[in-house]
Amino acid sequence: MNEFSPRQKAARVKLLVLDIDGVLTDGRVVYDDSGREIKFFDIKDGHGLKLLQRAGYAIVLLSGRKSAANRARAQELGITALIEDAKVKLPVLEKIMAQLKLQPEEVAYMGDDLIDLPPMRACGLAMAPADAWDPVKQAAHWIASRPGGQGAVREACEFLLKSSGKWDEVTARYF
């Protein structure tokens, strides 16, 4: 059997699906005195996602929880595909792939915990932040050197763009 390298898998990706808590955030949820939820998102991760959008990638945020902070961050990034309260993520991922007419090898999924294992196994490129739960890291084809909410998504975006040969095009304005 001919197994492709993570870079070869990344070159085929058209859609990036991201878990939120523990991937786009550091996994902490803080409540203020009024009971409002506070999460921490990394601005560099957001810029990486904007670069992916500029290169024509589709992005879906898929969370097991509902959160006003998730909705605010998705809106700020111009990501309209936000699916919340997905307690079982694989059927949701399969529906997304069918709607977009994508094959599994055209999809990358980044997750950090056990709920993410089924969709990670169903896509072409499974990705994880450095601080993902051990079984998740074992299932991943590619693991960021940075933890969730602290640059892991930016690293993943750059990996996808460089693997597909689109990095120079989308970053030309900066160099």
In a domain, 142, yes or no: yes
In a domain, 55, yes or no: yes
What is the mean pLDDT of the segment spanning 86-93? 97
The answer to whether residues 145 and 129 touch, using CB atoms and an 8 Å cutoff, is: no
Q: Which CATH number do you get for residue 89? A: 3.40.50.1000
In a domain, 174, yes or no: no
Residue 1 has pLDDT above 50, yes or no: no
Rounded Cα distance, 167 and 40, in Å = 27
pLDDT in tens, 114-146: 999 999 999 999 999 999 999 999 999 999 999
In a domain, 172, yes or no: no
For residue 33, give Cα distances in angstroms to 36, 37, 140, 161.
Answer: 7, 10, 38, 42
The answer to whether residues 27 and 21 touch, using CB atoms and an 8 Å cutoff, is: yes
In a domain, 12, yes or no: yes
DSSP assignment of 48-59, as one string? HHHHHHHTT-EE
In a domain, 149, yes or no: yes
Neighbours of 51 (CB within 10 A): 21
What's residue 3's pLDDT? 82
Domain span holding position 146: 6-167
**Helical spans, DSSP H, in the chain:** 6-11, 43-54, 68-77, 89-100, 117-122, 134-139, 152-164, 167-171
Rounded Cα distance, 157 and 49, in Å = 7
What is the mean pLDDT of the segment spanning 20-27? 97
In a domain, 154, yes or no: yes
Q: Is 92 exposed, middle or buried (0-12, 13-18, 19+ CB in 10 A)?
A: middle
pTM value is 0.96
- The total of structural domains in the chain comes to 1
Rounded Cα distance, 72 and 81, in Å = 13
